[in-house]
Amino acid sequence: MSKRPQHQFDRGDIVSLDMGSASTQVACKALVLSPAAYNALGLALAVPITEHDSSRYAGFAVAIVLPGRTPASGAALVNLVRPVDLAARGAKLLGKAPQTTIDEALQRLQAVVGKDQ
């Protein structure tokens, strides 16, 4: 893990990340699902946001539509959750998802990782 990011990221933040390797840069948008207390440790649980066809992820994708001029829209692929070092990936805050979107994403994540009934 690298140094702490300048911004204290929190659950619901929509961020831009560099998901490439040392020799390439690949910009990616993601929705942070972990709370600020966890993120302060240096990692965050995040899911990628795709602007492409997400129909193959039906049932797990959560539509992200942000009000105003925030440059993020598409579908958060909750089944692709992963730990991300936000500082090492050069995370930049783009905006905040509405609470209803955050709640829906967490419910779908629970369906993926939750215990059987």
Number of domains in the chain: 1
The larger pLDDT score, comparing residue 46 to residue 117, is at 46
Backbone angles phi, psi at 57, to 5 degrees: -105, 20
Q: Is 99 a domain residue?
A: yes
Q: Is 78 a domain residue?
A: yes
Are 102 and 35 a contacting pair, CB within 8 Å?
A: no
Q: Is 88 a domain residue?
A: yes
pLDDT, tens digit, 9 for 90 and up, residues 2-61: 555 467 899 999 999 987 655 556 688 999 999 999 999 989 999 998 877 667 767 767
Amino acid identity of residue 37, one-letter, is A
Q: Is 4 a domain residue?
A: no
**DSSP secondary structure string, 22-59?**
SS---EEEEEE-S-HHHHTTT-EEEEEEESS--GGGTT
Q: Is 86 a domain residue?
A: yes
**Scanning the structure block, which residue is given the tokens 């207390």?**
37
Q: Which domain holds residue 96?
A: 13-113
Closest CA to 85 of 31, 17, 13, 14: 17
Q: Is 1 a domain residue?
A: no
Cα–Cα dist 70/20, whole Å: 23
Q: Is 7 a domain residue?
A: no
The CATH number for 72's domain is 2.30.30.110
**DSSP secondary structure string, 76-100?**
EEGGG-EEE-TTTTT-EEEEE--HH
> Whole-model pTM above 0.85?
no
Cα–Cα dist 11/53, whole Å: 25
pLDDT, tens digit, 9 for 90 and up, residues 73-99: 788 888 889 999 999 989 999 999 989
